[in-house]
Structure 1
Amino acid sequence: MSDNGCGFPAPGLHSFLFQPMFTVGGYEFNKVMLLALVTTLVVVTFFWAAFGKAKVVPGKLQMVGEAGYDFVRRGIVYETLGKREGEKWVPFMVSLFFFIWIMNIWSVIPLAQFPVASVFSFPLVLALVVWVLWVGLTFKRHGFVGFFKNITGYDKSLGAVLPLVMVIEFFSNLLVRPFTHAVRLFANMFAGHLMLVMFTVASWYLLNSWMIPAAGVSFVMTMAMIVFELFVQAVQAYVFVLLACSYIQGALAEHH
């Protein structure tokens, strides 16, 4: 960290940059990429262990898995898409929710202490996957004409403002939508991690400067930020999946 000439090692963009840790097949892997791979392994291993040999009378691990699965299915998918249309999307949305949540939660795990989603490329790829699904479903369900009407918000009752609305909706849906979908997740994780680093570094800096009361306040703020981040991490996974369901619902809905 740079102290900017004042002795305080202020966090900044350098807090999100990591040197390669190892190379496999010519590809360099840093801490963020490793955490993303571990996230995949954690999610797959957990659900494999919970449901690989599912029982009528579930054990503790299966009960936890069923609770998480049911939360996404009933609390997000069914509420947005309905039971009939939504059931086929439940596995994808459950995977998406827990993948994002675990990526986020590394921020408060000792030694890891970094939210993968605070690197923009990760939420952007997930948002693009959802966007491609939305475009493909819209085209498949409504055909070319229906697809065009869906993405442009075509409604002849708008009269003279219809051309303007269609241009805005076109750029909003095809260009802006995946960007804003990704930024919601990225910005919250980026800001949260920066605040955690700030108060953590400040606690050590003030303690080493023998400013004990100030260090204590900073430490309390660090603990408060950790609790707050735990809430935000789950909420951001929920919001991302909720928006994904909303986009799919829009693709499946009949255009009037």
Structure 2
Amino acid sequence: MIALALPASNDEGFVSPTLEDMHLPEILPWGAPTGEGFGKQMLLILISVIIISWFFIAAARKRQLVPGRLQFLGEFGYNMVRNSIGRDIIGEKDFRAFTPLLFSLFFFILINNLWGSIPLAQLPTTSHVGTAYALAGIVYFTWIILGIKKHGISYFKFAVVPSGVPMAILPLVVLIEIISTFLVRPITHSLRLFATMLSGHLIIMLAATGTEFLLLEAEGLLKPLGVLTLVGGVGMFLFEVLIQCLQAYVFTLLTAIYIQGSLAEEH
């Protein structure tokens, strides 16, 4: 955690980390003076794709009846997404076609979340809102296209006109359903992931800089408080690892729910 520490003090005392501290200099800058370019976030995304591809290709290579550890881990991860998310949410009839999408989303998000807890990397790429928007956008167009393919243009009626609603309040209900389904849903799907990873990483950065300041720069009775800050920071670090895994599961679970809703006969 200390490796996260930024310069924590100047002549005025402790300076807390900011959002700008998470945006590291680009590795291959272009488009100056905007600062755009190929940066650490993009590099980690590419590495995550390589790691995921290598792991599951290696796990599936031998296909032994009695699996080794690598094959066991691969099968466990695949079956967890396939059965616990795909089959249980979408249903026995339709889930198989969407298992590759759910599988890819879960492990891509999981690895890119966990970058924030890995030394030297220490940057969850999903804490950049563009990544969350792109993932949620893929899911958004997927369930809309599936709904149209299943029901035709009548899908939009199924999606926003609940059955059994009295005519007196139907216009208000339809307006609420349009906003919540086609506007709020993709925004919350992306921001839930982005905001959780961003806030968690900032808390870890704050704990690291606070520990550094109290142990190395503070004087008197404040210095022993650095030990408490360190212990609390370690606890928050472990909690953040749990949240990183949980958010990958939640994002994939919501994807399955949205797909199931598009394929359902009634809404």
* Bin for the TM-score computed over the shorter chain: over 0.9
Q: Distance in 1 between the 2:176 and 2:151 partners? A: 21
Task: Provide the TM-score with structure 1 as the length reference.
Answer: 0.93
- 8 A contact 1:138–1:150 mirrored in 2: no
Give the share of equivalent positions with the same residue, in percent. 40
Partner of 1:96: 105
Structure number with greater CO (CA < 8 Å, separation at least 6) is 2
- CA drift of 1:154 comes to 4.2
Q: Distance in 2 between the 1:4 and 1:17 partners? A: 21
Which of residues 7, 16, 21 is equivalent to 1:15? 21
Which of residues 186, 189, 198 is equivalent to 1:181? 189
Q: Distance in 1 between the 2:234 and 2:39 partners? A: 28
What is the aligned-residue RMSD (CA, Å)? 2.0
Q: Distance in 2 between the 1:57 and 1:115 partners? A: 36
Which of residues 144, 160, 165 is equivalent to 1:157? 165
One-letter amino acid matched to 1:93: L
Where structure 2 has 5 or more consecutive residues not aligned to the other structure, the ranges are: 1-6
- CA drift of 1:83 comes to 2.3
Task: Provide the TM-score with structure 2 as the length reference.
Answer: 0.89
- 8 A contact 1:149–1:255 mirrored in 2: no
Where structure 1 has 5 or more consecutive residues not aligned to the other structure, the ranges are: none
- CA drift of 1:120 comes to 0.7
Q: What secondary structure sits across from 2:37 in the alignment?
A: strand
Give a deviation string over 1:202-252, Cα, whole Å, max 9, x none.
111111125442111111011101110111011101100000000000000
Which of residues 176, 194, 199 is equivalent to 2:207? 199
- CA drift of 1:5 comes to 6.7
Alignment size in residue pairs:
254
CA gap of 1:95–1:185, structure 2 versus 1, over 3 A, is: same
**Greater shift after overlay, 104-113 or 87-96?**
87-96
After superposition, residues 212-251 of structure 1 pair within 5 angstroms as 212-251=223-262
**Greater shift after overlay, 15-24 or 61-70?**
15-24
Q: Distance in 2 between the 1:170 and 1:32 partners? A: 34
Q: Distance in 2 between the 1:54 and 1:61 partners? A: 10
Q: What secondary structure sits across from 2:94 in the alignment?
A: helix
